[in-house]
């Protein structure tokens, strides 16, 4: 039987991925590890697969990045970090915009595949999970900002982030807490479930129906109008992201409500918009730069070792408390 890279890895006491890097003469391997692998290969009589080496030599050293939510300031931070990390790894990045429409996203993916990119990062993808898995069978794929079983994923822990937001409002004394959900956006359903579960865990059944606002300011405005014009309006709103939270703040201002005395608002993403002095929005921090860095590192690892098991990396969110939340005034 022929000797495999797994055999060499076992003899050298290293991973198969590291053996693969050594065989491709990657500079990312230390001298001591390289020597151990080459010694084990010599002892076992390992000969690199010529076809595999030929495939590796065909690399374009370019990663494709499809972004679905360019209007969200979070994405610019993800893109910048991804490009910086890719450059460190010796790759360029080819960017395509999907505009929150699966049909447009498919066309963007096909354009990048036509450029023979070595792998794809789908940021906030709207494609069906089965379609993403089929795509991953053709080319290395990583999904950023959303969890897809069977495919490498880097995302924030949406459940934990939503729980932080709702518990913050509960601890301030709010009982009528509404949620503007993100519709079919990435992570939206997880955040909505966590919102309801957190209320129930504190003995507070949802007294104000949640409503869909999507991940846009316009959607947040429409949803907030529906919520705040009701007879039993909320004293606090947890919005699916910062853009929808900004829409809620605009409606509150138009209605003459004081924030946070009459209405507390929490967003999600901690974008630069939330940190503006005149906004000062309490928001759940989604670490965009970390997502970009990990996305590229994980995808490059997949390109180097296509046989490894899919990995899901969830980043821990933090709540950044600012001036849009306070105890209810009793209105």
**C-alpha count within 13 angstroms, C-beta hemisphere, residue 239:** 36
Predicted confidence band of residue 51 (pLDDT cuts 50, 70, 90): very low
User: Which range, 16-25, 70-79, 221-230, 313-322, has the best average confidence (pLDDT)?
Assistant: 313-322
Write out pLDDT tens, residues 234-248.
999 999 999 999 999
As a whole-number percent, the residues of the chain with pLDDT over 90 amount to 66
Domain boundaries, the chain: 5-56, 60-156+287-316, 158-286
pTM higher than the cut 0.85: no
User: Which residue reads 């994923």 in tokens?
Assistant: 153
- Distance CA(243)–CA(218), nearest Å, equals 8
What pLDDT is recorded for position 56? Answer: 55
Relative to beta strand 141-144, strand 177-181 is unpaired
Residue 46 has a pLDDT of 83
Instruction: Report pLDDT digits (tens) over 268-291.
Output: 999 999 999 999 999 999 998 999
pLDDT at 73: 85
Alpha-helical segments (H) within 235-313: 242-254, 288-304
Q: Is the pLDDT of residue 54 over 50?
A: no
27 CB-contact burial (10 Å; exposed 0-12 / middle 13-18 / buried 19+):
exposed
List C-alpha distances in Å: 140 to 21, 26, 119, 249, 312.
17, 19, 5, 41, 15
Q: What is the pLDDT of residues 145-193, one digit of tens each?
A: 999 999 999 999 999 999 999 999 999 999 999 999 999 888 999 999 9
Percent of the chain whose pLDDT exceeds 70:
94
Cβ(169)–Cβ(185) below 8 Å: no
Q: Which residues contact 36 (CB under 8 A, 6 or more apart)?
A: 12, 13, 14
Q: What is the pLDDT of residue 211?
A: 87
Tell me the three state secondary structure of residue 174.
coil
Which of 1.10.3720.10, 1.10.1040.10, 1.10.260.40, 1.10.390.10 is the CATH number of 5-56?
1.10.260.40
Tokens representing residue 202 in the block: 């504190």
The pLDDT score that the predictor gives to residue 18 is 80
Q: What is the mean pLDDT of residues 206-215?
A: 80
Tens-place pLDDT, residues 89-105: 999 999 998 777 888 99
Per-residue pLDDT at 6: 83
Cβ atoms 240, 248 nearer than 8 A: no
The closest of 242, 224, 227, 240 to 282, measured between CA atoms, is 242
Are 5-56 and 158-286 equal in CATH topology? no
Find the mean pLDDT for residues 302-325: 94
Cβ-based neighbour number of residue 321 at 10 Å: 13
**What kind of fold does domain 60-156+287-316 have according to CATH?**
Rossmann fold (3.40.50)
> Quick check: helix, strand or coil at residue 240?
coil
Say if CB 325 and CB 282 are below 8 A apart. yes
Please say if the pLDDT value at position 65 is more than 50. yes
pLDDT score of 175: 93
Q: What is the pLDDT of residue 275?
A: 93
> Which listed CATH number (3.20.20.70, 3.40.30.10, 3.40.50.2300, 2.40.50.180) goes with 158-286?
3.40.50.2300
Using alpha carbons, select from 150, 139, 144, 158 the residue that is nearest to residue 69. Answer: 144
Cα 278 to Cα 20, 259, 281: the distances in Å are 53, 12, 9
How high is the pLDDT of residue 52?
Answer: 53
Apex CA 166: angle with CA 165 and CA 170, to 5°?
125
C-alpha distances (whole Å) from 185 to each of 134, 194, 324 are 21, 15, 24
Residue 1's pLDDT band, with cuts at 50, 70 and 90, is low
Position 70 scores a pLDDT of 76
Determine whether 132 is exposed, middle or buried from the number of CB atoms within 10 Å of its CB (0-12, 13-18, 19+): buried
CA 133 – CA 245 distance, rounded (Å): 33
pLDDT on residue 189: 93
Confidence of residue 330 (pLDDT cuts 50, 70, 90): low
């Amino acid at each position: 039987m022929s000797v495999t890279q797994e055999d060499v890895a076992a003899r050298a006491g290293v991973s198969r991925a590291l053996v693969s890097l050594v065989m491709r003469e990657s500079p990312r391997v230390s001298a001591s590890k390289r020597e151990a692998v080459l010694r084990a290969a010599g002892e076992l009589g390992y000969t690199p697969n010529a076809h595999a080496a030929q495939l590796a030599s065909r690399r374009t050293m370019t990663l494709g990045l499809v972004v679905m939510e360019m209007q969200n300031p979070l994405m610019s931070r993800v893109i910048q970090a991804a490009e910086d990390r890719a450059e460190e790894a010796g790759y360029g990045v080819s960017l395509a915009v999907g505009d929150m429409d699966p049909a447009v996203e498919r066309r963007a993916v096909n354009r990048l595949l036509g450029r023979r990119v070595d792998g794809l990062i789908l940021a906030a993808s709207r494609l069906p999970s089965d379609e993403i898995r089929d795509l991953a069978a053709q080319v290395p794929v990583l999904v950023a900002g959303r969890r897809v079983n069977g495919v490498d994923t880097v995302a924030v822990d949406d459940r934990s982030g939503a729980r932080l937001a709702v518990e913050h409002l509960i601890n301030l004394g709010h009982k009528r807490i509404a949620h503007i959900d993100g519709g079919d956006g990435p992570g939206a359903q997880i955040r909505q479930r966590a919102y309801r579960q957190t209320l129930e865990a504190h003995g507070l059944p949802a007294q104000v129906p949640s409503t869909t606002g999507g991940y846009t300011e316009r959607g947040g405005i429409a949803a907030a109008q529906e919520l705040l014009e009701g007879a039993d309006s909320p004293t606090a709103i947890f919005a699916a992201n910062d853009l929808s939270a900004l829409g809620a703040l605009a409606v509150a201002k138009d209605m003459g409500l004081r924030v946070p005395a009459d209405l507390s608002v929490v967003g999600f993403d901690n974008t630069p918009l939330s940190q503006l002095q005149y906004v000062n929005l309490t928001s759940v921090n989604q670490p965009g730069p970390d997502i970009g860095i990990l996305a590229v590192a994980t995808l490059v690892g997949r390109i180097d070792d296509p046989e490894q098991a899919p990995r899901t990396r969830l980043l821990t969110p933090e709540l950044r408390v600012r001036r849009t939340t306070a105890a209810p005034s009793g209105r």
